[in-house]
Amino acid sequence: MKYLSEYRDAAIARPLIERIKREATRPWTLMEVCGGQTHTIVRQGLDELLEGAIEMIHGPGCPVCVTPLEQIDKALMLAARPEVIFTSFGDMLRVPGSDCDLQQVRARGGNVRVVYSPLDALEIARRHPDREVVFFAVGFETTAPANAMAVWRARELGVPNFSVLVSHVTVPPAISAIMQAPDNRVQAFLAAGHVCAVMGWTEYEPLAMRHRVPIVVTGFEPLDILEGILMAVEQLETGRHTVENQYVRSVRREGTPAARTRVQEVFELVDRKWRGIGEIPMSGLRLRPAFAAFDAELKFGLGDIHVNESPECHAGEVLTGKLKPPRCPAFGTRCTPEHPLGALMVSSEGACAAYYHLAKYRAASAAEPAGAVS
């Protein structure tokens, strides 16, 4: 209880937990597809508080974690080129590729720069017309409009030395793929409230119908998540399967149309591999032919490449709920945030990193050794 009791709304949270437990006449398995939610659930110990009633599977809700190894390796190849300034959001720098990561490429002399906005990358390109500036465009629906806008702006301003390595993914096809997997155990989903702030939730409605699965658009705070779980449980207990919005405060059904339009103008759907999961049809975005001049894969003729995933990493089993991170033999020993074997140990939103930090925090506050974490 310790972790939740530190939370300012513990007094509101406890009755919610009791209510979820009362309403659940049998154990239900839910999946959150949002790294922010994963982080909160693990850190606040919500999964432990709900044990016996609700099992939470931490789904592929973190764009850093699901970026396919192929795209990471391509990023590494580009970053190593002498004429290239490679720009990326900071969380991608430590994601392991087949043999190294972007940070190591930088240490070996590659020009790798962290940017906070794709517009920073575009501005670097304008200041260095003699260099090729490549931006690593990753993310879910929330980030896609901003990245689309940067490409749009590059065309508008005529910046020929700017290009993007695109690895965008969209959530609804992943939900579909998870529901269609023969060994699927997920009975309801929490969708990411802030992702829906841009895209709305109209795309979730046919999914809920087709797969007869409740989907609750939920925030990332502990109370939001508990409320979202309660709404999902109420649907499950009464045999309903619709899209409901717990996160009313920031989400409209139709999302932000201007942003959606820009995404559609610049990107088109493509089959995309998700790291740890495999290929999901029409789950990714790539540049439309009209923007081919800004496609780093075409510009540098990258083509198909051969990759090498760490045989020790069980990310696929973690993402489908077959394995809890601490049960991975490498967890906390061969695989730590300092030396990650898999992407789930890198980002703040990855399930393995979330468990690792919880274990470390518990060890520190209890002043006793905690499991695998030294």
Residues that bind ligand SF4 (CB under 6 A): 312-315, 318, 325, 328, 330-331, 335, 341-342, 344-345, 352
Nearer to other proteins, 181 or 364 (CB): 364
- Tell me whether residue 210 or residue 249 sits nearer to other proteins (CB atom): 249
Within residues 159-198, the interface with other proteins by CB under 8 A covers 192, 194-195, 197-198
The DSSP bridge partners found for residue 189 are 31, 215
From the list other proteins, ligand SF4, none, pick the one residue 325 interacts with, judged by a Cβ distance below 5 to 8 Å according to partner type: ligand SF4
**Binding status of residue 253 toward other proteins by CB under 8 A:** no
Helices (H), 158-203: 171-180, 193-199
Q: Which region holds residue 73: left if phi is over 0, alpha if psi is between -120 and 50, else beta? A: alpha
Compute how many other C-beta atoms are within 10 angstroms of the C-beta atom of residue 107: 11
Helix or strand (DSSP H, E) at 289 = none
Q: Is the dihedral of CA 168, 196, 145, 106 positive or negative?
A: negative
Q: Minimal distance in Å, beta carbon 156 to other proteins?
A: 11
Query: Least distance to other proteins from the beta carbon of 261, Å?
Result: 9
Question: Interface with other proteins includes 158 (CB under 8 A)?
Answer: yes
* Residue 343 C-beta: closest distance to ligand SF4, Å: 7
**Per CB under 8 A, does 48 bind other proteins?**
no
Token pair listed for 30? 């839910």
Sign of CA dihedral 88, 135, 260, 272: negative
Measured CA distances, 218 to 139, 170, 201, 238, 370 (Å): 19, 17, 11, 20, 31
Q: How far is the CB of 365 from ligand SF4 (least distance, A)?
A: 22
Return the closest-CA partner of residue 232 out of 240, 222, 223. Answer: 240
Which positions touch other proteins (CB under 8 A)?
Answer: 8, 35-36, 39-40, 43, 62-64, 89-91, 116-120, 123, 126-127, 139-140, 142-143, 145-147, 149, 157-158, 192, 194-195, 197-198, 219-221, 249-250, 256-259, 262, 347-349, 353, 357, 360-361, 364-365
